Amino acid sequence: MLVYIKRNLGLAIEGISQNKLRALLTALGIIFGVFAVVAMLAIGNGAKKSILDQLKIIGTNNIVINSIPPQQDEEESDSQEEKKSYTPGLTIKDIDAIKDIVPGIEKLSIETTTDAKILYGKNMVKSKCYGVNNDFFDVNNLELSRGLFFSDHHMNGVNVCILGANAAARLFLGKNPIGNYVKSNNVVFKVIGVLKKRMISKENLTKLDVNNYSNIIFIPFDTYKLRVNNKIRIGKDDVKRNDDDETENKNYHQLDKVVVKLADAKSMESSAELISRILLRRHNDQPDFEIKVPELLIKQQQSTQETMNLILAVIAGISLLVGGIGIMNIMLASVLERVKEIGLRRSIGATEKDIIYQFLLEAIAISLAGGIIGVIMGIIGAKVIAAYADITTVISFSSILVSFGIAVSIGVIFGIMPAQKAAKMDPITALRTD
């Protein structure tokens, strides 16, 4: 059987080589169709990877609550200021209320920040100091390269810290930071851990409003309150501007950001609405906070991307359909041109099966050659798109297999009818044809 196919394949290739230009023109539809398929799959896979990367960064089932600090440029009269309701800002008491009322909370991360400098010996790093709880690292998918996370013991005002990867590298210059002491905000902290470096593109940093935490010093929240800065507001006078116009509004929120991680994704929207009502009631209907559900925003983006992928698939399918019709037309014309050849082969003993194999293999060979060229062009095109359109593209082995499979299928589907027409010719009539 293998010898049989090999002999007919040789005749098919010989027929193609005698009409190279026609074969190339026939293959153009397949080339551009397969190019479109490979590029489309690369863009689709890239979009999926980007979405998974984003979900990995922000975590799943998270509701993000950001405090809104006072506007530095707001200009209100004394009468307007007095009419404005008092709000305590985002505080730890709000967190206790959320825990008591909102069901299904798995983790709850809190953070508060201030500018800082970290000192070790003669080395200094300009940074930010984060006061956080134990859940902060889990919710933000942060891992340690060495050392330990905070324990419950550390949450009682102990002077310990965890450093970001870049901060540790710049301060200790290759030495092991664990067990050493650094100074920040005039307080000495013992280093108990160093974060693993997390690679995040600038695009994702901006789009997702996240931090790579590479240059940060993290300390327990209670330690932050005791040793660094407890920003909780204790009275209405604390948020009033001084009479001096140059005095800036100070951030009165005790917490800058809270992330609530739920056990069930189905309750995210309803829980976000419930949290909003709780905070508005506690803040005297003053919206000095912002609630986001990043996962829902990303899923909307995913839905839009899937629609675009579907459109690209339709365009690629049309290109392949046109290519297949082109193969069928050219093969039908080839059958009419080679009537005498068919008649001669039949007269010396070739069967209908031989003729079918010859023309079918010829169509498949054209499709396969077009598929190879299309795959190469698709790979190059995907890389060009990634470079110039600033989007992620991923070329997988499965997408290449799919493209080859489509190319061969097109050759079989659109080559079978011309092959059957050639095989059913009467050899005597074919030999008499001028």
CA atoms within 13 A on the CB side of 120: 21
Q: Are residues 212 and 133 in the same domain?
A: yes
Over residues 61-84, mean pLDDT: 63
- Residue-wise pLDDT tens digits, 106-164: 889 999 999 999 999 889 999 899 999 989 998 888 889 999 999 888 888 899 999 99
Distance CA 371, CA 365 (A): 10
- The reply to whether 160 and 237 lie within a common domain is yes
Q: Are residues 402 and 319 in the same domain?
A: yes
Please indicate, yes or no, whether residues 287 and 310 belong to a single structural domain of this protein: no
**Residues in a beta bridge with 160:** 190
Amino acid in the structure at residue 228: V
Whether 208 and 293 map to the same domain: the answer is: yes
Do residue 293 and residue 312 come from a single domain? no
Q: pTM here?
A: 0.61
Q: Mark out the alpha helices in 141-267 (DSSP H runs).
A: 165-172, 202-208, 221-223
Domain shared by 288 and 352, yes or no: no
Question: Pick from 232, 253, 194, 224: which is nearest to 128 by CA?
Answer: 224
Which stretch of 111-115, 157-161, 258-262, 317-321 has the lowest confidence by average pLDDT? Answer: 317-321
Considering the domain architecture, whether residues 343 and 405 belong to the same structural domain is answered as yes
- Residue with the larger pLDDT of the pair 245 and 202: 202
For the chain, what is the domain count?
2
Q: Which residue range(s) make up the domain with 172?
A: 61-298
Q: Which of 272, 298, 324 is the last residue of a domain?
A: 298
**Same domain as 338, residue 288:** no
Residues 130 and 223 in one domain: yes
Q: What local confidence, expressed as pLDDT, does residue 194 receive? A: 95
Q: Which domain-ending residue is among 258, 278, 298?
A: 298
Q: Which of 58-72, 73-87, 90-104, 379-393 has the lowest mean pLDDT?
A: 73-87
Beta carbons within 10 angstroms of residue 177's beta carbon: 22
Using the 3D structure, point to which of 267, 282, 298 is the last residue of a domain.
Answer: 298
* Res. 191 pLDDT band, cuts 50 70 90: very high
Residue from 409, 429, 378, 139 nearest 258 by CA: 139
Residues 289 and 328 reside in one and the same domain? no
Q: How does the average pLDDT of the chain come out, rounded?
A: 78
In a shared domain, residues 190 and 239: yes
